């Protein structure tokens, strides 16, 4: 038995991480026409994405299927050995197959190929051997080859499975973007657990209400509204018209711009310098939608209005972040 020193263990650990990191970076060279075709096939799939693979490839395949399912692309993992004992009944003619095999010659996978061809399902092969049977029988081939495994013996799938997982994540993320998958869509598939906790909040759960709302009339002076903003500490005030409806907001940014462009502030009405028709949100909206609106328009607080455009609250970015909405 060889005894390894701590320094050698640390050296080997860093080497493993470097090999696996390089295996992912090398994949960038393989992103091109074939990848684009794979995305198109998956995007236009009318059924489900059936992911299959044996051994370590199968374990990675399960994760790829799970990631796709939770990000808007219905997917299912099919064990290739079980497929020839009845489980292949899950495949329909509307499905797309993602078949994973580093060698491209895994026997259990080869046994499944005739059925896939019989159904006429488009097949995306993920393999490290572009001359393999899998590569030659796939409509699209994604090259997941690595220069070497991180295993010192060069046998255990390590860098190759890391590369496969990264390619699967790349497919899932690109499909999310192409399909316009939103935070609200994500919530539908993650209603429990830490991932969904923050997204389950609605604006009404986190908004500031009552006498904590900075509200002023549009007839007030600019200088008086500044005092109101300073007293509430939200960086803004909501401006109401004679019907108590939201007509504008005055923010810290509005204040800076007003000071820069007006030499005489005495008697200046807030209605003259406020931001008219400001961004707003309803209490029943998801808090994630409020955060998205804030990020999109670089604002830190949003008025919350009812159906009559009357302010019933205000929601601040700090409250969203504290609640885990991110």
| pLDDT tens, residue by residue, 112-139 | 998 898 889 999 999 999 999 999 999 9
Residues sharing a CB contact under 8 Å with residue 283, sequence separation 6 or more, in sequence order: 202, 203, 204, 207, 304, 306, 312, 313
Residues belonging to the chain: 326
- Other C-beta atoms closer than 10 Å to the C-beta of 73 total 22
pLDDT range class, residue 152, cuts 50, 70, 90: confident
Do strands 311-316 and 301-305 pair parallel, antiparallel, or not at all (unpaired)?
antiparallel
Question: Are 152 and 207 members of one domain?
Answer: no
Domain-located, residue 79:
yes
Same domain, 53 and 165: yes
Q: What is the domain extent for residue 306?
A: 203-322
CATH of the domain at 304: 3.10.580.10
**Residues 185-207 pLDDT 10s:** 666 566 555 556 566 789 999 99
Write down which residue in 148, 180, 212 finishes a domain. 180
Residue 135 lies in a domain: yes
Domains identified in the chain, total number = 2
Q: Are residues 14 and 148 in the same domain?
A: yes
At 66-75, the pLDDT tens digits run 999 988 899 9
- Integer Cα distance of 85 and 132 in angstroms: 25
**Strands of 23-133, DSSP E:** 49-53, 75-78, 96-100, 123-127
Looking at the DSSP assignment, which residues form a beta bridge with residue 286? 202
Same domain, 137 and 235: no
**Which candidate, 326, 313, 280, places its Cα nearest to that of 205?**
313
- Are residues 103 and 147 both part of a single domain? yes
Residue 22 and residue 130 share a domain: yes
Q: What is the mean pLDDT of the chain?
A: 90
Would you call 24 exposed, middle or buried from its count of C-beta atoms within 10 A (0-12, 13-18, 19+)?
Answer: middle
Nearest to 147 by CA among 32, 22, 55: 22
Distance (Å, rounded) from C-alpha 42 to C-alpha 210?
50
Q: How confident is the model at residue 35 (pLDDT cuts 50, 70, 90)?
A: very high
Q: Which of 293, 285, 289, 283 is nearest to 314 (CA)?
A: 283
Helix (H) or strand (E) holding 311: strand 311-316
Q: Which of 209, 253, 210, 245 is nearest to 229 (CA)?
A: 253
Answer for the pair 79, 87: CB distance below 8 angstroms, yes or no. Answer: yes
What distance in Å separates the CA atoms of residue 209 and residue 198, rounded to the nearest whole number? 20
Give the pLDDT of residue 276.
95
* Short-list 206, 216, 205, 212, CA closest to 239: 216
Assess whether 96 and 146 both reside in one domain: yes
**Same domain for 209 and 156?**
no
The structure tokens listed for 192 are: 């429990």
116 and 259 belong to one structural domain: no
Q: What pTM was computed for the model?
A: 0.61
pLDDT tens sequence across 241-285:
999 999 999 999 999 999 998 888 988 999 999 999 999 999 999
Same domain as 152, residue 70:
yes
């Amino acid at each position: 038995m060889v005894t390894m020193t701590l320094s050698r263990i640390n050296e080997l650990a860093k080497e493993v991480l470097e090999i696996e990191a390089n295996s992912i970076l090398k994949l960038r060279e393989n992103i091109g026409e074939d990848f684009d075709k794979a995305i198109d096939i998956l995007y236009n799939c009318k059924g489900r994405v059936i992911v299959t693979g044996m051994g370590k490839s199968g374990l990675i395949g399960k994760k790829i299927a799970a990631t796709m399912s939770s990000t808007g692309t219905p997917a299912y993992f099919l064990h290739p050995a079980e497929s020839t004992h009845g489980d292949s009944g899950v495949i329909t003619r509307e499905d797309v197959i993602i078949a994973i095999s580093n060698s491209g010659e895994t026997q259990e996978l080869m046994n499944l190929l005739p059925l896939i061809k019989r159904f006429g399902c488009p097949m995306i092969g993920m393999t490290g051997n572009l001359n393999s049977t899998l590569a030659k029988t796939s409509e699209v081939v994604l090259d997941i080859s690595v220069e070497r495994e991180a295993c010192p013996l060069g046998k255990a799938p390590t860098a190759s499975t890391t590369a496969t997982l990264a390619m699967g994540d790349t497919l899932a993320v690109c499909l999310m973007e192409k399909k316009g998958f939103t935070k609200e869509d994500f919530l539908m598939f993650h209603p429990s657990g830490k991932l969904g906790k923050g997204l389950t909040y609605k604006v009404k759960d986190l908004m500031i209400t009552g006498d904590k709302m900075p509200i002023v009339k549009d007839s007030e002076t600019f200088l008086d509204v500044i005092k109101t903003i300073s007293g509430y500490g939200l960086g803004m005030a909501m401006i109401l018209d004679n019907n108590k409806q939201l007509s504008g907001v005055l923010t810290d940014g509005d204040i800076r711009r007003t000071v820069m462009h007006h030499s005489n502030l005495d008697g200046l009405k807030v209605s003259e310098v406020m931001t008219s028709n400001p961004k707003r949100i309803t209490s029943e909206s998801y808090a994630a939608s409020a955060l998205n609106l804030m990020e999109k328009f670089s604002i830190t607080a949003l008025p919350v209005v009812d159906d009559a455009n009357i302010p019933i609250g205000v929601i601040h970015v700090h409250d969203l972040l504290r609640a885990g909405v991110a």
